[in-house]
Amino acid sequence: MTTKKGITWDLAFFKKNIALILFLALLIFNITATSNFLSWITFNNFFKQVSRVCLVSLGMSLVIATGGIDISVGSAMALGSVLAALGIVHESPILILFSVILVIGFGCLAGVAVSKFAILPMVATLALRYVMRGMAKGISGAANVTYTAPKLTAFFTQPVVGRIPVHFFILVIAVVVVYILVNKMKLGARIEAYGNNPVAARNCGINTVKIVIFCYVVTGALSWAAGILEAVVVSSAHPSTIGTDMEIDAIAATLIGGTPIDGGYPNIIGTTCGAFLLQLISMMCNMNNVSYPVTLMLKAGIVLAALYFHGIGKRSR
Q: pLDDT tens, 60-108?
A: 999 999 999 999 999 999 999 999 999 999 999 999 999 999 999 999 9
Q: What percent of the chain has pLDDT over 70?
A: 94
Greatest pairwise CA separation for the chain in angstroms = 69
Residue 175 has pLDDT above 60, yes or no: yes
Confidence of residue 6 (pLDDT cuts 50, 70, 90): very low
Query: For residue 4, what are the β-bridge partners?
Result: 7
Specify the DSSP element, H or E, that contains 4. strand 2-4
Average pLDDT, integer, range 282-299: 90
Residues 6+ apart with CB under 8 A from 54: 171, 174, 175, 253, 271, 272, 275, 276
**What local confidence, expressed as pLDDT, does residue 169 receive?**
95
Give the span between the Cα atoms of 69 and 247, in whole angstroms.
Answer: 9
H-type helices in the chain, by residue range? 11-33, 40-65, 73-89, 93-115, 121-140, 150-157, 166-183, 186-196, 198-203, 208-234, 246-257, 268-287, 292-310, 312-316
Cα torsion for 110, 61, 298, 285, to the nearest 10°? Answer: 100
**What local confidence, expressed as pLDDT, does residue 317 receive?**
45
Q: Which domains does the chain have, with CATH numbers?
A: 39-312 (1.10.3470)
By residue count, the chain amounts to 317
Contact, 198 vs 282, CB < 8 A? no
| Side chain identity, residue 55 | L
Give the span between the Cα atoms of 9 and 295, in whole angstroms.
Answer: 32
Confidence of residue 59 (pLDDT cuts 50, 70, 90): very high
Residue 181 has pLDDT above 90, yes or no: yes
Q: What is the pTM of this model?
A: 0.92
- What DSSP character marks residue 141? T
Confidence of residue 312 (pLDDT cuts 50, 70, 90): low
Query: For residue 237, what are the β-bridge partners?
Result: 145
Give the span between the Cα atoms of 117 and 126, in whole angstroms.
Answer: 16
* Range from 129-133, 287-291, 309-313 carrying the lowest mean pLDDT: 309-313
**What local confidence, expressed as pLDDT, does residue 63 receive?**
98
SS3 at position 93: helix
Give the span between the Cα atoms of 141 and 128, in whole angstroms.
Answer: 19
